[in-house]
């Protein structure tokens, strides 16, 4: 049997083979990294308001328990300013790799973009909606020194003294601002707006009596209501709230259009992979299913929503349209 002669490859052939091998490894390495299951490091959940407000409360309650189903720590980071637009802008500009997520509210994805032409993000196209965690009633509260303690007396006092009183909000363009403007347009009362850098600071000054009125989210106001340091006047909710059974809704006082609840959801920058969206959504559902988490959220007066990304996107679009109309009809501006 004649065996074929075995020839050694030339130096040039060996160099070409090595170059090809390195090129293939260069392609395989990032593919291997991409194939790793997300997340492989801690995830940031940005709250676009100061600590102490409802957005912060909901974010921290859920984030504490997301680490289990995700397998990584979820770190809450507060970045206040611009009625929530500063933090929201950072989320919109983040790399869409799933490691920078943000809390979405009516203020950041509807009310503020509706009034502020300087906001650089489009709430309908620059985010990836993931899940709406909860819907929360808003409530008009007054300091105990206010002359009235019920809705009838509240309206009578404001109409008797137009321009005498002011109200605090989480910031110009926030839901507390625009929802109060919607209320003013329908009720015929006039109170002066005082914007703050978040619901927490605004609430602190209202509790201290520096500002007599606030249109706030129920979860952050409720502890002070229970302590008698704030008086609830009327709530924006489809039905009376179980924790405030004596307080009427706007519908009951003839102002049904003001019955718009706030939402607290999670979003990412546009282009977020569906794998990340689904994992975060599933992890939130797992966390909220824990009895202690569910109870902590519902005890604030919030209602769990836990909808799909598509449903959340539709909700954002609908709220944005509502507040664009409020701004146009009230001729509101940042000046």
Tell me what pLDDT residue 4 has: 46
Fold type of domain 43-134+261-330: D-Maltodextrin-Binding Protein; domain 2 (3.40.190)
Which residues, at least 6 apart from 54, have a Cβ–Cβ distance to it below 8 Å? 136, 199, 216, 217, 218, 219, 220, 262, 264, 300
Put residue 271 in one of left, alpha, beta given phi > 0 → left and psi -120 to 50 → alpha.
Answer: left
Render 178-236 in DSSP notation, one character per residue. HHHHHHHHHH----EEEE-SSHHHHHHHHHTTSSSEEEEEHHHHHHHHHTTSSEEEEEE
Predicted confidence (pLDDT) at residue 238 exceeds the cutoff of 80: yes
> Residue 54 has what pLDDT?
81
Q: Regarding predicted confidence, which is higher, 215 or 28?
A: 215
Whether the ω angle into residue 4 lies within 30 degrees of 0, i.e. cis, is no
Instruction: Say whether 13 sits in a helix, a strand or coil.
Output: helix
| Pair of tokens at residue 197 | 């850098």
Per CATH, is 138-258 categorized as 3.40.190.10?
yes
Domain boundary assignment for the chain: 43-134+261-330, 138-258
Residue 6 has pLDDT above 70, yes or no: no
Q: What is the DSSP string of 277-324?
A: HHHHHHHHHHHHTSHHHHHHHHTTT-EE----HHHHHHHHHHHHHHHH
The per-residue pLDDT for 34 is 44
pLDDT in tens, 125-135: 999 999 999 99
- Residue 141 above 80 pLDDT? yes
């Amino acid at each position: 049997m004649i065996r074929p002669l075995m020839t050694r490859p030339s130096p040039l052939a060996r160099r070409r083979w090595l170059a090809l091998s390195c090129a293939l490894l260069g392609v395989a390495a990032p593919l291997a990294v991409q194939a790793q299951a997300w997340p492989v490091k801690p995830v940031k959940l940005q709250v676009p308001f100061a600590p102490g407000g409802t957005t912060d409360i909901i974010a921290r309650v859920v984030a504490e328990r997301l680490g289990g189903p995700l397998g990584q720590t979820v770190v809450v980071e507060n970045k206040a300013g611009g009625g929530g637009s500063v933090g929201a802008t950072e989320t919109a500009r983040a790399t869409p790799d799933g490691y920078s997520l943000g809390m979405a509210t009516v203020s950041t994805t509807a009310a503020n973009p509706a009034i502020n032409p300087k906001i650089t993000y489009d709430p309908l196209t620059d985010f990836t909606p993931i899940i709406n965690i909860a819907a929360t009633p808003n409530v008009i509260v007054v300091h105990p020194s206010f002359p009235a303690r019920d809705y009838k007396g509240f309206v009578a006092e404001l109409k008797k003294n137009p321009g005498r009183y002011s109200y605090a909000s989480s910031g110009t363009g926030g839901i507390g601002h625009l929802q109060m403007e919607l209320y003013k347009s329908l009720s015929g009362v006039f109170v002066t707006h005082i914007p703050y850098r978040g619901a927490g600071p605004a609430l602190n000054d209202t509790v201290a009596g520096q500002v007599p009125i606030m249109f706030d989210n129920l979860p952050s106001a409720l502890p002070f209501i229970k302590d008698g340091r704030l008086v609830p006047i009327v709530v924006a909710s489809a039905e009376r709230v179980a924790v405030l059974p004596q307080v009427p809704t706007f519908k009951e006082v003839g102002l049904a259009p003001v019955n718009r609840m706030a939402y607290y959801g999670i979003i990412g920058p546009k282009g977020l992979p569906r794998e990340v969206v689904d994992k975060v959504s599933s992890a939130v559902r797992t966390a909220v299913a824990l009895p202690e988490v569910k109870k902590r959220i519902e005890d604030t007066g919030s209602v769990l929503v836990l909808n799909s990304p598509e449903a959340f996107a539709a909700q954002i679009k609908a709220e944005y349209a509502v507040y664009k109309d409020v701004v146009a009809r009230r001729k509101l501006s940042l000046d």
